[in-house]
Amino acid sequence: FTKSFGKAPVLMSGVNPVLRAKVAQGLLRDRGYFGASVSYKEVAMSNPKKAKIAYTVDAGHLYNIDTLVYIGFPSDAMRLIDSTRTATLVPSGTPFDVSVLDAERNRLSTLFRNNGYYYYQPGYASYLADTLSSPGSASLRLQLADGIPDMARRQWYIGDVDLQIRKQYTDQLTDSFRYRHFSMQYNGRRPPMRARVIMKDVKLRHGQPYSYDSYIQSANKLSATGVFSMVDFKFTPRDTTALNDTLDLTLNCILDKPYDFYVESNVTGKTTGRVGPGLVLGITKRNAFRGGEKLDVNLKGSYEWQ
């Protein structure tokens, strides 16, 4: 009966109240209660085999954000920060919260990466908090870390765009054509898909600053066509010198299988009282006319009786 319906007792040695108190204290400090303390004590019960643990939480004063300044960022990056001051997640007077500070740092990273800073990462900036100059509040500095790569400090622009299209992953690209800053590589007498059909969904163009949002939109649009089994964007710096700011884009597209065959069965019922089974046989051809189209042909039959 004990094995089927009971459960093992919770022993005091397995509760580890010291660790629980430290976790609670750390959580409070991450939420702005810098003077928080959590203690515990064992409470005896009338049954000598039972006991409870009582936790005492002293949250203390909640610190608010006094000011937040940005230090050490390049001049172009500072102009981006200044232009989006109203969108900051850490305005003066809000409670100190580590999760909000991290969200602000990620916001800046997204802002930078949408304006050419391809190599920038959120971890390249860190916070310093001063709780002494303004009692009861925290003055913050978000500053660029020392020793970050020089490539992360400057904006990058899209250079040449090379479109590689394959029917299979192992295809060798033997033919190509080039027009100004665009080139296309393929295998066969003609491209398996027209270049302008693919490039109309690509939001990255020569001479424009790199944008992470444009990259995501381009990848999603190409994948949503259902024509490709794989779409891969590869950005390569033309060289790593301090004067270079060009990223060449290689877009590798692999076409999906050209044909799909499907069978559907159903049961038809009409208001006239006729009922019967039905069958649909169909075939779909992807990229039927080299423009990303889908040509679907199906045959439907049913038998009904009353």
d(CA 251, CA 165): 8
Of residues 304, 152, 161, the one with CA closest to residue 240: 152
- Mean pLDDT, the chain, integer: 92
Specify the pLDDT at position 79.
Answer: 95
Supply the pTM of this predicted model: 0.80
* Amino acid in position 2: T
Angle (deg, nearest 10), helices 98-113 and 75-83: 120
Cα(187)–Cα(172) distance, rounded to whole angstroms?
A: 7
| 2 or 70: which leads in pLDDT | 70
Give the pLDDT of residue 14: 84
Q: Which pLDDT score is estimated for 49?
A: 86
Quote the CA–CA distance of 23 and 55 in Å, as a whole number. Answer: 12
Residues 6+ apart with CB under 8 A from 155: 76, 115, 116, 117, 209, 210, 245
pLDDT digit string, tens, across residues 72-93: 999 999 999 999 999 999 999 9
Q: Of 70-79, 91-100, 121-130, 242-251, which gets the smallest average pLDDT?
A: 242-251
In whole angstroms, what is the distance from residue 200 CA to residue 205 CA? 11
Count of beta carbons in the 10 Å neighbourhood of residue 131: 15
> pLDDT tens digits for 13-32?
888 899 999 999 999 999 99
Using the structure block, give the residue that is written with the tokens 């319906």.
Answer: 5
Strands 51-58 and 246-255, bridge-based pairing: unpaired
pLDDT number for residue 182? 94
